[in-house]
Amino acid sequence: MSDHAHPTPAQYWKIAVVLAVLTAIEVGLYYIDRELGLGALNAVLLLILAVTKFIIVVGWYMHLRFESSFLNRFFTAGFVLALSLYAIVLGLLGVLVIRGGG
Amino acid sequence: MTATAERPSTTIFKRPKSTTGIWSWITTVDHKRIGIMYGYAAFFFFLVGGVEALLLRIHLAQANSEFLTAGAYNALFTMHGTTMIFLFVMPVSAAFINYMLPLLIGARDVAFPRLNALSWWIFVFGGIFLYSTFIFGTSLAPVGSDGIGGIDGNIAPGGGPGALNFFADSPDGGWFGYQPNAGPLYSAGTAMDFWALGLQILGLASLIASVNFIVTVFNMRAKGMRLLRMPVFAWMSTVTSFLLLFSLPIIAVALFMVTFDRQFGTLFFNATGGGDPILWQHLFWLFGHPEVYILILPAMGIVSEVLPVFSKKPLFGYSAVVFAGAAIAFLGFGVWAHHMFASGVTPVAQAAFGLATMTIAIPTGIKIFNWLGTMWMGKIRLSTPMLFAIGFVAMFTIGGLSGVTHAVVPSDWQQTDTYYIVAHFHYVLFGGAIFGLFSGLYYWFPKLTGRVMSERMGKLHFWLFMIGFNLTFAPMHWLGLQGMVRRTWKYAPETGLEPWNFAVTIGAFIIALGVLVFMYNWYVSKRRGEPSGLDPWDARTIEWTIPNPTPEYNFATAPVVSRLDHFWHLKYDEDDEGRPVRKPDADKVVADLEYDGLNPSQPIHLPAPSYFPVLMALGIPIIAYGIIYHEALWGKLAIAAGAIISLSALIGWGIEPLEEPMEAHEEELDLAPAGAADVIEEGDAGGEEQSGD
Amino acid sequence: MTDLAHEPDVGHHDEHESTGIENRKLGMWVFLSSEFLFFGALISNYLLYSNRGGFAAPYPAEVYDIPFTSVSSFVLLMSSLTMVLAHNALSRDDQNGARTWLFATAALGSVFLGGQVFEFTDFIVEFGMTLSTNPAASAFYVLTGFHGLHVALGVIMLLSLWGISRRQNGLSEKQGLNLELVGLYWHFVDIIWIVIFTVVYLLSLPPT
């Protein structure tokens, strides 16, 4: 275990608060969208929030930010590969179109 | 429960200790033994798959043949493909990687020896489970829309007219299991469940192995063995492992979806319920295309090892060959829809995938030209391994060329579902992968046995294969273009396809003869073959710096590597024109290596055997049987029992003392107590044999 | 006998060409990378089918209870906190603290699982949405079902570590690596849920 550059428990708690707040915003957005109909903006904002939470957990809780770049590249590669392949499949199956198609 | 002074007393079982006898094989974690077991099991399935092929060929030798019933025919081509791919080529590649990879990189074992054993046992149980379909599987008439059997155009129960019906109750949906044909409505009964769950189990074994091999290559190389100094086979094993790692999860999901459709009423591929059959094709080929590179890359790696040795020249363009292999794998993820050109994908998609497919010809061509460049102006020795390697280059090139013709979309519409495609993939998989694998068997046979195989019988085998293989598969090119359709029980005499079909069948039996020659050669050479000594081929890479047969500990002292083809440069200098000149003390170097290899100066710690891999593996087919028969009470109990067995084994494994895995390897020599130069197994640390417990 | 206890993971990993990452840790990261392909396929399934109208009701997006799922998502997210606190405690050799946080993580994970079971039961009993209702429902249950299975396996591993620690009065440094590995697995399961919660629950609309 690499003991250097580990966040302290206090920092972990702070990160948890950030994650909780982001989740609350997400849920809030869901209800706002139901009332006001934000359209594509809703999807964009929610995805940004989700990606932010994702990066925070991976970077700090999984410690990837402080690990060797080899692990970083490996993990990212798996993610990027999955994203690309399935995006193409969904595109070919008519899912990834501007809403209204399919 | 026993406790020793040095270990926490959390062992549940006494550690197995035997080194001989069947229990030593069941509990072994030694990569060499695991590799040998993989090899024999794979070869057994090769014979089974071959018999399946011969039955098909006997049937197809005649027009309108009823040698096989239609049901048996469908089952045989399904099982032939499934067996050859998943139960022969993949496991025999695993056999090679298991045995050779640590030796090629200068390691004592793989990164996770017990996990290695787990992969092997899961594979074996998976293969047995899949083939138990011949006993337990049922293949019923499709379910009609009223829930009763009898949809038009399908085979009546019992396989229909014909002589041989024995296999009709086995998986018959093709090795690719297209939905909804292979789903619950049109393939009622349990046969396709054995197929889906069997493949699932086998995939799990390979996934686990891929993690093992990746960590091994990145972490366990000997000192000086930089990545770009590794033998090409080690590189191709790594690339293959990446392909497995990223493609198997996709087929795992697809197979779960099929199993759930068949067993639990989901609607993934049920067209009337809203399911999309094309989804299956995407998911299957997303795996299926990387899969074919998984099948070919290890054999390409073998050829890259053999050609330089028997040309007495370094591999031409080592880096290019390595990077080309990586490029093939990377591009291989992007071309899967070329298996779907006739399935209704859009023209834009067809163009894109066709173009992408053509680009794979570039790195492949680089490899082929580099192999030719290796042989060019080399001092060629036509020993058996070399014959098969050259055969690979020639046959694979032909198969690759027909593959490029498939990339041209309108041309593919003509070829698809005809024997032209069958010709293509047999040229690359048989003429390619299988020839390459045989080259490896002849080449590395001394490492297993300390003997060489008979050259005379080896050459006979090679020529029987060359003649038989080409006679079998070359005609399929024009048979296909003349319209002979794949996966079809009968062809009419008016088509004029019979004469060449008959010739093809003759070719198939010539191949079979070659296999028999090989088997006899193996059997006889193991016992009475000429002793090989350390370096029978005057080789280049470090697996040949240790005695044959390989000592249990592989390397007596961890090797230190200073350059590519390290072993070669211990024996040879170069003259002013770059030609190799044997060093005056080369023979002494070899003799010293042999002596030192057999006489380690310090005690060597090896990973101890373990029960847990085989136990954990055992739970998995039990769960699978339970899923198939889950409607019965005993099926539900089987699922629970299998899960409990595997989970308990997993926990026991986790508790099993940590001292023994590869941590206790190699570089620990300076920590080990000085003393007699014997091999200590970590499980003996407590001393005497304990009784009871 | 060799005293292997003072090095976290004895071996050649800290040497020359190796990656400098312990074997088991590298192995876990490698395995987790492959899981993206696994969950990606399941999520894609759902995205494909949740949009296709014309089949039997109800669709998952019609029956979601967002407040409920938000709470269980929050619970799972917080379990990542307790997980990392367990790892941190162990690194400071606070064995008691490590055990406490391990147990807390397992408890939160179990609460999440309980929530899933409750949610599924509700969907089946109250709304009549089963595996066989329509492909979107099939996709929903299989995706969240496999995620739940992963959580359950994680809980078992956490409790095993907790049990071993109790029995041995603490985890050795080498067993501490196992805790770190379980932690990586646990966080991964959490980030998959982050994606699922957003994409499958919040962003999913029933077909028009």
Interval B269-323: pLDDT, tens: 998 888 999 999 999 999 999 999 999 999 999 999 999 999 999 999 999 999 9
pLDDT at B254: 97
Q: What is the rounded average pLDDT of the residues B395-400?
A: 97
B220 touches C at CB < 8 Å: yes
**Rg of chain A on CA atoms, in Å:** 18
- In the stretch 12-41 of chain C, residues with CB closer than 8 A to chain A read 19-21, 26, 29-30, 32-37, 39-41
- Claim to verify: residue A9 and residue A28 sit in the same structural domain: yes
Closest Cβ opposite residue C142 in set B256, B283, B662: B256
Asked if C78's CB is within 8 angstroms of A50's CB, the reply is no
B204 versus B17: which is more confidently predicted?
Answer: B204
Q: What is the C-alpha to C-alpha distance for residues B334 and B568, in angstroms, rounded to an integer?
A: 39
pTM of the entire structure?
0.92
- The distance from CA A10 to its chain's CA centroid, rounded to whole angstroms, is 23
Whether pLDDT at B50 is above 70: yes
**Encoding tokens for residue B171?**
């998986």
**Between the CA of residue B69 and those of A44, B80, B136, what are the distances in Å?**
58, 16, 19
Exposed, middle or buried: residue B632 (CB in 10 Å: 0-12, 13-18, 19+)? exposed
The sign of the dihedral angle between the CA atoms of B163, B168, B169, B170 is positive
pLDDT at B155: 52
Q: What is the C-alpha to C-alpha distance for residues B257 and B251, in angstroms, rounded to an integer?
A: 10
pLDDT at B111: 94
**Encoding tokens for residue B423?**
């010709």
Closest Cβ opposite residue B267 in set C21, C37, C138: C138
Q: Which residues of B touch C156 (CB under 8 A)?
A: 647
3-state secondary structure B178-238: CCCCCCCCCCCCCHHHHHHHHHHHHHHHHHHHHHHHHHHHHHCCCECCCHHHCCHHHHHHH
Helix, coil or strand: residue C206: coil
Instruction: List phi, psi (to 5°) of B451.
Output: -130, 165
Binning pLDDT at 50, 70 and 90, where does residue B495 land?
very high
Name the closest residue on chain A to residue C88, using Cα atoms.
A9
| Domain C30-202: CATH class, spelled out | mainly alpha
pLDDT at B141: 73
Q: What is the C-alpha to C-alpha distance for residues B289 and B370, in angstroms, rounded to an integer?
A: 24
Q: What is the C-alpha to C-alpha distance for residues B211 and B208, in angstroms, rounded to an integer?
A: 5
Name the closest residue on chain A to residue B332, using Cα atoms.
A85
C51 touches A at CB < 8 Å: yes
Q: Considering only A38-52, B3-17, B427-441, B589-603, which range has the smallest mean pLDDT?
A: B3-17
Closest Cβ opposite residue A71 in set C29, C37, C52: C29
pLDDT at B21: 86
- Claim to verify: residue A86 and residue A55 sit in the same structural domain: no
Asked if B246's CB is within 8 angstroms of A78's CB, the reply is yes
Binning pLDDT at 50, 70 and 90, where does residue B152 land?
very low
- Claim to verify: residue A62 and residue A12 sit in the same structural domain: yes
Asked if B279's CB is within 8 angstroms of C132's CB, the reply is no
Q: What is the C-alpha to C-alpha distance for residues B82 and B173, in angstroms, rounded to an integer?
A: 11
pLDDT at B602: 85
Q: Encode pLDDT of C76-114 as tens digits.
A: 999 999 999 999 999 999 999 999 999 999 999 999 999
Amino acid identity, residue B574?
A: E
Q: Which of C7, C10, C17, C185 to mutate to test the interface with B (most CBs of B within 10 A)?
A: C17
Domains of chain C, by residue range, sit at 30-202
Q: What is the C-alpha to C-alpha distance for residues B227 and B237, in angstroms, rounded to an integer?
A: 13
Q: Locate tokens 């239609």: which residue?
A: B70
- In the stretch 631-660 of chain B, residues with CB closer than 8 A to chain C read 647, 651, 654-655, 658-659
- In the stretch 250-269 of chain B, residues with CB closer than 8 A to chain A read 250
A100 versus B293: which is more confidently predicted?
Answer: B293
Helix, coil or strand: residue C18: coil
Q: Which residues of B touch A70 (CB under 8 A)?
A: 218
pLDDT at B148: 54
**Between the CA of residue B58 and those of B51, B255, B484, B512, C151, what are the distances in Å?**
10, 32, 16, 13, 52
Q: Are the C-beta atoms of B574 and B314 separated by less than 8 Å?
A: no
The neighbours of chain C, by the rule of 3 or more Cβ pairs under 8 Å, are A, B
Minimum distance, in Å, between the CA of residue C124 and any CA atom of chain A: 24
Asked if A89's CB is within 8 angstroms of B278's CB, the reply is no
Instruction: List phi, psi (to 5°) of B164.
Output: -100, 115
Q: Locate tokens 């629950």: which residue?
A: C201
Amino acid identity, residue B315?
A: L
The domain in which residue A102 lies consists of 69-102
Q: What is the C-alpha to C-alpha distance for residues C106 and C78, in angstroms, rounded to an integer?
A: 11
A42 touches C at CB < 8 Å: yes
**Encoding tokens for residue B623?**
């769960």
Asked if B248's CB is within 8 angstroms of C33's CB, the reply is no
Q: Encode pLDDT of B125-145 as tens digits.
A: 999 999 999 999 888 777 765
B198 versus B141: which is more confidently predicted?
Answer: B198
Q: Locate tokens 């249990």: which residue?
A: B552
B6 touches C at CB < 8 Å: yes
Tallying the residues shown for chain A, one arrives at 102
Asked if B345's CB is within 8 angstroms of A89's CB, the reply is no
Q: Which residues of A touch B282 (CB under 8 A)?
A: 89, 92-93
Q: What is the C-alpha to C-alpha distance for residues A96 and B243, in angstroms, rounded to an integer?
A: 26
Binning pLDDT at 50, 70 and 90, where does residue A97 land?
low
- Claim to verify: residue A52 and residue A11 sit in the same structural domain: yes
Amino acid identity, residue B682?
A: E
Q: Encode pLDDT of A57-94 as tens digits.
A: 999 999 999 999 999 999 999 999 999 999 999 999 88
Strands B572-574 and B604-606: unpaired
Whether pLDDT at C12 is above 50: no
pLDDT at B240: 98
Q: What is the C-alpha to C-alpha distance for residues B349 and B336, in angstroms, rounded to an integer?
A: 11
Q: What is the rounded average pLDDT of the residues B623-646?
A: 96
CB atoms near residue B689 (< 10 Å): 8
Mean of pLDDT over chain B:
89
Name the closest residue on chain A to residue C31, using Cα atoms.
A75
**DSSP states along B241-262:** HHHHHHHHHHHHHHHHHHHHHH
Name the closest residue on chain A to residue C9, using Cα atoms.
A1
Minimum distance, in Å, between the CA of residue B297 and any CA atom of chain C: 20
Amino acid identity, residue B533?
A: G
Q: Which of B4, B115, B208, B219 to mutate to test the interface with C (most CBs of C within 10 A)?
A: B219
B279 touches A at CB < 8 Å: yes
Domains and CATH numbers, chain B: 32-230 (1.20.210.10)
Asked if C20's CB is within 8 angstroms of A27's CB, the reply is no
Q: Are the C-beta atoms of B426 and B508 separated by less than 8 Å?
A: no
Asked if C80's CB is within 8 angstroms of A61's CB, the reply is yes
- Here the ipTM equals 0.92
C5 versus C113: which is more confidently predicted?
Answer: C113
Q: Encode pLDDT of B82-134 as tens digits.
A: 999 999 999 999 999 999 999 999 998 999 999 999 999 999 999 999 999 99
Q: Which helix (H) or strand (E) holds C52?
A: none
Amino acid identity, residue B529?
A: G
Q: What is the C-alpha to C-alpha distance for residues B262 and C102, in angstroms, rounded to an integer?
A: 39
Name the closest residue on chain C to residue A49, using Cα atoms.
C198
**Angle at CA of residue B362, ends B359 and B366, nearest 5°:** 165
Binning pLDDT at 50, 70 and 90, where does residue B538 land?
very high
Whether pLDDT at C5 is above 80: no
How much helix, strand and coil, in percent to the nearest 5, is found in chain B? 65, 5, 35
The sign of the dihedral angle between the CA atoms of B84, B87, B88, B89 is positive
- Claim to verify: residue A16 and residue A58 sit in the same structural domain: yes
Percent of residues, chain A, with pLDDT higher than 70: 88
**Between the CA of residue B598 and those of B108, B420, B431, B552, B610, what are the distances in Å?**
15, 53, 39, 10, 26
Helix, coil or strand: residue C125: helix
**Angle at CA of residue C36, ends C34 and C42, nearest 5°:** 120
pLDDT at B1: 32
- Identify whether B157 is preceded by a cis peptide bond (ω within 30 of 0): no
Of A11, A75, A22, A82, which is closest to residue A51 (Cα–Cα)?
A22
A55 touches C at CB < 8 Å: no
Binning pLDDT at 50, 70 and 90, where does residue B18 land?
low
Closest Cβ opposite residue A92 in set B246, B282, B333: B282
Q: Which residues of C touch A66 (CB under 8 A)?
A: none
Q: Encode pLDDT of B333-386 as tens digits.
A: 999 999 999 998 999 999 999 999 999 999 999 999 999 999 999 999 999 999
Q: Considering only B166-170, B598-602, C147-151, which range has the smallest mean pLDDT?
A: B166-170
Q: What is the rounded average pLDDT of the residues B659-683?
A: 40
Asked if B668's CB is within 8 angstroms of C17's CB, the reply is no
> Where on the phi/psi map is residue B578: left (φ > 0), alpha (ψ -120 to 50), or beta?
left
Q: Which of A71, A80, A89 to mutate to test the interface with B (most CBs of B within 10 A)?
A: A89
Binning pLDDT at 50, 70 and 90, where does residue B15 land?
low
Q: What is the C-alpha to C-alpha distance for residues C105 and B508, in angstroms, rounded to an integer?
A: 61
Exposed, middle or buried: residue B671 (CB in 10 Å: 0-12, 13-18, 19+)? middle
Q: What is the rounded average pLDDT of the residues B532-551?
A: 94
Binning pLDDT at 50, 70 and 90, where does residue B14 land?
low
B463 versus C16: which is more confidently predicted?
Answer: B463
Alpha helix stretches (DSSP H) within B265-383: 277-311, 318-332, 347-359, 361-375
Helix, coil or strand: residue B152: coil
| Number of domains comprising chain A | 2
Q: What is the C-alpha to C-alpha distance for residues B455 and B436, in angstroms, rounded to an integer?
A: 17
Q: What is the C-alpha to C-alpha distance for residues A40 and B145, in angstroms, rounded to an integer?
A: 42
Q: Are the C-beta atoms of B5 and B17 separated by less than 8 Å?
A: no
Of B286, B276, B346, A82, which is closest to residue C49 (Cα–Cα)?
B276
DSSP B451: B
Q: Encode pLDDT of B401-438 as tens digits.
A: 999 999 999 999 999 999 999 999 999 999 999 999 99
Asked if B266's CB is within 8 angstroms of C138's CB, the reply is yes
Q: Which residues of A touch C143 (CB under 8 A)?
A: none
Whether pLDDT at B34 is above 70: yes
Amino acid identity, residue A65?
A: R
Contacts of C127 (CB under 8 A, 6+ apart): C58, C62, C63
Whether pLDDT at B7 is above 60: no
Asked if A92's CB is within 8 angstroms of B333's CB, the reply is no
Please state at what angle helix B384-407 crosses helix B435-449, rounded to 10 degrees.
150
Q: Which of C2, C35, C130 to mutate to test the interface with B (most CBs of B within 10 A)?
A: C2
Q: What is the C-alpha to C-alpha distance for residues B660 and B109, in angstroms, rounded to an integer?
A: 12
pLDDT at B494: 94
Asked if A95's CB is within 8 angstroms of C48's CB, the reply is yes
Strands B580-582 and B679-681: unpaired
Q: What is the C-alpha to C-alpha distance for residues C174 and C159, in angstroms, rounded to an integer?
A: 18
Contacts of C73 (CB under 8 A, 6+ apart): A23, C193, C194, C197
Closest Cβ opposite residue C21 in set A15, A71, A79: A71
pLDDT at B38: 97
**Between the CA of residue C139 and those of C67, C144, C170, what are the distances in Å?**
22, 8, 42
**DSSP states along B398-415:** HHHHHHHHHHSHHHHHHH
Q: Under an 8 Å CB criterion, which residues of A touch B? A: 70, 78, 81, 85, 89, 92-93
pLDDT at B682: 41
Alpha helix stretches (DSSP H) within chain C: 23-50, 60-63, 66-91, 95-127, 135-168, 173-196
